[in-house]
Structure 1
Amino acid sequence: MKFLTAFALVFVVSFAAPAFADIDWDEKELTEEELIKRGFAGGVELGFNMTTGNTETTTYRSKIDVDHFLIGWRNNYVFETDYKEDDDEVKEERYFASAQGNRQWAFAINSYTFYRYSYENDRFNGMEDANTISVGYGQRVLETDSMFLDLEGGPGYRTNDAKDKNDEMIARVAGNYSWDISETSKFTQRLSSEIGEDNVVTRSETAITASIIGSLAMKASFTVTHQTAPTVDEEDDEELSKTDTRTAVTLLYSF
């Protein structure tokens, strides 16, 4: 119920305050009016694997990443799930949702202010009903015909219901790099760090996307999550690993 409430809050806050928006400089060839008419753009990602016999394993990953264009603002909504079960024992169960908005100012076309909310529930890495709110400033520091690099940073606040975890102020820094290798392939690198006094949470996603046909593509990604002070597992009272990694090959449908 807490997850559903938090996920609903992502959309309520985003629509209630047009500050939640995401600038997509890849659309710079479109006018503001054309972007508004376009409305929504994004992708749906899905991966699934099942083995039976001596070992029964079920693994799936899903992700929805949608941009919503408004006058002067561009909203971005993300929803992710990761699940793994080995011989009826759950090994991974993660839910993540976020809304981020970037406000581009007329007097500084490569600069923007951002507003971000995220929710994560993953009892296997100590992020239980973790809510994070942050605001700040970002800038495009590199841009060519085939690549760009955005950097941003600002203060925020994080809550976590996991054992021995306190609510705390944080500083969020992030970078987003994209390189169009060819007309049918793209390399992306996203890196963020939420720096708190009790815990520093750093996330990295490295991905290569290759077009298959039309709007359908294959995506290979490698994700790393690192915590300087992960929580203690409530079931066995053992300290969790500081670093989690995830390798995935998924189908991506863009619209």
Structure 2
Amino acid sequence: MAAPFAAQAGADFVEGDKTFGGDAELGATLTTGNTETTSIKGRLDMKHEFGNWENQYLLEALYKEDTGEVTGKRYFGLIQGDYQLTNTRYIFVNANHEIDPFTGFDSTSTVSSGYGHKFIDDGKTLFNVEVGPGYKYKRLDTESAALVGYDSEDSWVAHGVVNFETDITESSRFKQMFVADLGETFEGRSETSVTANIIGALAMKFAVIVRYNDSPLADKESTDTETNMTLLYAF
């Protein structure tokens, strides 16, 4: 699931023609007593520019526990390199890996490459699209493999990303991103978020994430949703 290089608010480290910046997110919910639940969401998103390259490095983690039972666990890592052909056109290479045992798969790995175009990039609003071929490999967990009779599946996919970001006010920003992989099955991801600055480099972020798979395993749902309220620190 690609995440395109986006305009970054906050402090940047600049050395010659090199620029580095990013943001870190953390959110947690802990309850005790009659109801005991734990929910932790973390994210580290870093961006690096040098020469004609704009690179992104992303790590995400989600963990949920209810009365001693783990009800959600997801880890995701991504690296993407964008080679700028012009100010608006670029070629991207993307690789990502996800661990989410609640889907029936031990892991999912995807690599893709293709063409990206920035239709709007004026400092306030960013609208870009990426399209290209990709390859997806999934490894089933032991229980699912026993049910279907095989332990992995792979396919070529058509990979696409649509990303829109805009400033709502001087201190708040709206983002909407769609990611889709179309092959033997269709898998999509939508992330909608609003970020509002609190003070300095510290902000509050509200996000709704929807994941869709049109051919889930027999005992799984097609759609997963995730709603987060996190603190974000830009650096």
Q: Secondary structure at the match of 1:175?
A: strand
User: Which string of whole-angstrom CA distances, capped at 9 and with x for unpartnered residues, describes residues 163-221 of structure 1?
Assistant: 34511111101111100111100000111001121x21100100000000000000000
Amino acid at match of 1:212: I
Paired with 1:81 and 1:254, the residues of 2 have a C-alpha distance of 18
- Which residue is equivalent to 1:120? 98
- Matching of residue 155 in structure 1 with residue 121 in structure 2: no
- Which residue is equivalent to 1:109? 87
- Which of 108, 114, 139 is equivalent to 1:136? 114
Give the number of the structure whose residues are more often strand, by fraction. Answer: 2
Q: Secondary structure at the match of 1:62?
A: strand
User: Which string of whole-angstrom CA distances, capped at 9 and with x for unpartnered residues, describes residues 5-38 of structure 1?
Assistant: xxxxxxxxxxxxxxxx9654569xx9x97551x3
Structure 2, unpaired ranges of 5+: none
- Which residue is equivalent to 2:169? 182
- Quick check: 174-183 or 209-218, which moved more? 174-183
Amino acid at match of 2:91: T
Paired with 1:71 and 1:22, the residues of 2 have a C-alpha distance of 18
Count residues in correspondence. 221
Paired with 1:102 and 1:177, the residues of 2 have a C-alpha distance of 17
Amino acid at match of 1:90: V
- Matching of residue 89 in structure 1 with residue 69 in structure 2: yes
- Quick check: 127-136 or 162-171, which moved more? 162-171
- Which of 198, 208, 211 is equivalent to 2:197? 211
**TM-score normalised to structure 1 length:** 0.81
Paired with 2:105 and 2:188, the residues of 1 have a C-alpha distance of 13
- Which residue is equivalent to 2:33? 53
In the alignment, is the contact (CA less than 8 A) between 1:146 and 1:181 conserved in 2?
no
Q: Secondary structure at the match of 1:124?
A: helix
Cα displacement (A) at 1:74? 1.6
TM alignment of 1:1-20, pairs within 5 A: none
User: Which string of whole-angstrom CA distances, capped at 9 and with x for unpartnered residues, describes residues 25-56 of structure 1?
Assistant: 569xx9x97551x3x20000000000001110
Structure 1, unpaired ranges of 5+: 1-20, 233-238
The 3 A distance-change label for structure 1 pair 24 and 88 is closer
Q: Secondary structure at the match of 1:229?
A: coil
In the alignment, is the contact (CA less than 8 A) between 2:48 and 2:54 conserved in 1?
yes
Instruction: Give the fraction of aligned pairs with identical amino acids, expressed as a percent.
Output: 38
Amino acid at match of 2:157: I
Q: Secondary structure at the match of 1:54?
A: coil
Cα displacement (A) at 1:125? 2.1
Q: Secondary structure at the match of 1:160?
A: strand
